[in-house]
């Protein structure tokens, strides 16, 4: 059984919610949204979750009450080799506003583009790809 088949089984047969925050990854302070963890795996899991009507594409990245980061912000910070696909898919989703200002990290906040501009440790090529994706999504 593959990863996508296991995910489908958990959601369709066992009733696991696509918007649940029971999922953890090594990089998260709090349990993360299932879609965040799919970004660490592959595009098939990501695409399957996006195909589910009940997926809240504007959901918080994790269930930490101090952090208002959305799934879009998780895609900006994603370091997977598939990062351009994840970011462009979320940024171009009709229910996602890439210009939305969200609060995170103890009251500070940013738009998606502002968050990217603050990401100084990101390799130049990756940063440029993400910058182009966000500019395209804004137009």
How does DSSP classify residue 60? B
Which CATH number belongs to the domain containing residue 83 in this structure?
Answer: 1.25.40.20
pLDDT at 21: 84
**Alpha carbons 60 and 109: distance in angstroms, whole number:** 14
The count of other CB atoms within 10 Å of the CB of residue 112 is: 27
Select the more confidently predicted residue: 40 or 134: 134
Q: State the chain's mean pLDDT as an integer.
A: 86
Q: What is the mean pLDDT of residues 20-39?
A: 76
Dihedral sign, CA of 87, 88, 93, 97?
positive
Counted domains in the chain: 1
pTM of the model: 0.84
Contact in structure between 19 and 33 (CB atoms under 8 Å): yes
Q: What is the mean pLDDT of residues 6-31?
A: 82
Ramachandran angles phi, psi of 133, nearest 5° = -60, -45
pLDDT at 118 over 80: yes
Contact in structure between 65 and 31 (CB atoms under 8 Å): no
pLDDT at 66 over 90: no
Highest mean pLDDT among 26-40, 61-75, 85-99: 85-99
* Domain containing residue 29: 3-138
Tokens of 62: 């994790």
**Alpha carbons 137 and 133: distance in angstroms, whole number:** 6
pLDDT at 87: 93
């Amino acid at each position: 059984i593959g990863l996508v088949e296991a995910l489908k089984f958990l959601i369709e047969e066992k009733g696991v919610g696509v918007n649940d925050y029971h999922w953890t990854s090594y990089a998260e302070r709090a349990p993360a949204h299932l879609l965040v963890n799919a970004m660490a795996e592959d595009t098939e899991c990501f695409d399957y979750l996006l195909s589910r009507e009940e997926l809240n594409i504007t959901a918080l990245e994790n269930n930490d009450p101090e952090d208002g980061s959305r799934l879009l912000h998780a895609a900006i910070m994603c370091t997977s080799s598939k990062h351009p696909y994840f970011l462009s898919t979320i940024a171009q989703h009709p229910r996602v506003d890439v210009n939305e200002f969200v609060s995170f990290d103890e009251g500070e906040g940013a738009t998606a583009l502002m968050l990217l501009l603050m990401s100084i440790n990101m390799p130049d090529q990756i940063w440029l790809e993400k910058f182009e994706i966000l500019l395209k999504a804004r137009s």
